[in-house]
Amino acid sequence: MDVLNLAHGSFYMVGAYIAYSVVVATNSFWLALLVAPVLLALLGAALEVVFFRRLYRHGHLAQVLLTFGFTLVFVDLIRSQFGPTTRSIAPPPGLGGAVELFGATFSAYSLFILGVAIGVGALLLLGWRFLRVGAVLRAGVEDKEMAGLLGINLPTVFTLTFAFGAGLAGLAGVVAAPEFAIYPGMDASVLILALVVVVVGGLGSIEGAIVGSALIGLGYVIGTSLFPQFAIGLIFAVMAAVLIVRPSGLLGRRS
């Protein structure tokens, strides 16, 4: 969509907190997995219609500033509702154990995360390539005016896409909740990682984001085992190296 949203990490955080609330109230992780993305998509749609829509023509800087304002608001709202302490929830029943696979032991929940990631990735890739919505979006980013002249209702498409992105961020938050800690500030850490991944992979390329996350994830794990203190540094070193060779990312279009 060519929108830079610093509040995307906030959607992830809110998703995790919704999961926490739902699990505490109903003890059902699967309900949370259903509810959080829907709520986040609604929130995303509302924000897009009320705020973001006005800013598309003002360029990225205005978007950065607006969405930074929202990160402040969201983290403060979360803190006022849930306090500054770290929360956690248990994996859903049946996924709490360990699984033997290819002679190695994995936690069942990790495999579940892997499955969700592959599913979402495949859905996005195929949708972007082959679905009408994907084609419309590509056209809209490429040339807004032309797409509009061809009879595409771009504002609606953009709202739906933004809502879909927010919903996915919420889904990621729910899926991450049993695995990682839930705390105000989790938005920033995931946001920075996501930005690095996207920059390494190349903006506007879903394949790039997948390749980028694999590369950064591997880099992080290897870095953590080799020299734990500077694992974060290694991630950024990978990013710097990629950008020196290819300034627009691994699979990004050359600008």
**Residue number with CB closer to another protein (28 or 248):** 248
Query: What sign for the dihedral angle of Cα 35, 210, 191, 177?
Result: positive
Only one residue has tokens 């829907």, namely: 38
**Could you tell me the two tokens for 79?**
């803190």
**Count of residues near another protein by CB under 8 A:** 40
Using rule CB under 8 A, residue 56 touches another protein? no
Selected from 1, 108, 116, 195, the binder of another protein by CB under 8 A is 195
| Segment interacting with another protein, rule: CB under 8 A, options 61-69, 124-132, 139-147, 159-167 | 61-69
d(CA 221, CA 224): 5
Positions in 65-84 near another protein (CB under 8 A): 65-66, 68-73, 75-77, 80
Provide φ and ψ at 99, rounded to 5°: -130, 135
Query: What sign for the dihedral angle of Cα 236, 242, 246, 252?
Result: negative
**Could you tell me the two tokens for 84?**
């500054």
CB of 152 to another protein, least distance (A): 24
Using rule CB under 8 A, residue 125 touches another protein? no
Q: Which of 64, 35, 70, 62 is nearest to 173 (CA)?
A: 35
Write out the residues near another protein by the rule CB under 8 A. Answer: 4, 6, 51, 54-55, 58, 60-62, 64-66, 68-73, 75-77, 80, 188, 192, 195-196, 198-199, 203, 229-230, 232-233, 236, 239-240, 243-244, 247-248
